Amino acid sequence: MKRLLLIAAGTLSGLGAVLSVTPPQLGAADLGLGTGPAIVPTTTPAPAPTKTATPPPVKSINGTFTGPVVNVSYGNVQVEITVSNGQITDARALQAPSGRNDRYTNFALPILKEQTLAAQSTNIQGASGASYTTYGWRKSLQGAIAKAGI
């Protein structure tokens, strides 16, 4: 996530004075830029939620596993994961849509990759702007994870 923010900050510096840049060294707690509207804490105290994304650390599953090719409306997405001792250590796209503009080819993949690799500690829980490829990524990733048996 830190790497990602460094890239983001690098881009933002070119965007002009009305933007305030999030310093990349900030931790998760400092990430919120503004508190958002209408914030009324309504929840009653509850136990901390159980994390779902932490695989059991004891499994000695190793190797690369390829998910299915998933067709999204303007191309295919296929994800490959690398597993070391039952933990996903890398996730990459073997295929991603290549549309009118190649800049979009990678299409939010690293963001999702961050979420995939560090779901237990990621700084964002959702993204606004992602669309079809998100769907393809998740679908293919699920297949790869199922194949790995983790």
Question: Can you give the binding site for another protein, defined by CB under 8 A?
Answer: 4-5, 7-8, 11-12, 14-20, 22, 28, 31-43, 45-52, 73, 100, 103-104, 106-111, 123-135, 138
Unique residue bearing structure tokens 């998100």: 134
Residue with Cβ nearer another protein (40 or 58): 40
Residue with Cβ nearer another protein (10 or 63): 10
To another protein, the closest distance from the beta carbon of 62 in angstroms equals 26
Residue 90 parent element (H or E): strand 87-95
Q: What is the DSSP letter of 73?
A: T
Residue with Cβ nearer another protein (54 or 84): 54
How far from 47 is each of 44, 50, 121, CA to CA, in Å?
10, 9, 18
To another protein, the closest distance from the beta carbon of 142 in angstroms equals 9
To another protein, the closest distance from the beta carbon of 58 in angstroms equals 22
To another protein, the closest distance from the beta carbon of 101 in angstroms equals 9
To another protein, the closest distance from the beta carbon of 40 in angstroms equals 6
Residue with Cβ nearer another protein (11 or 60): 11
Instruction: Yes or no: say if 97 and 106 are a contact pair by the CB < 8 Å rule.
Output: no
Instruction: Yes or no: say if 78 and 69 are a contact pair by the CB < 8 Å rule.
Output: yes
| Rg of the chain (C-alpha set) | 18
Instruction: Yes or no: say if 134 and 112 are a contact pair by the CB < 8 Å rule.
Output: yes
What's the sign of the alpha-carbon dihedral 74, 132, 65, 145? negative
Residue with Cβ nearer another protein (65 or 137): 137
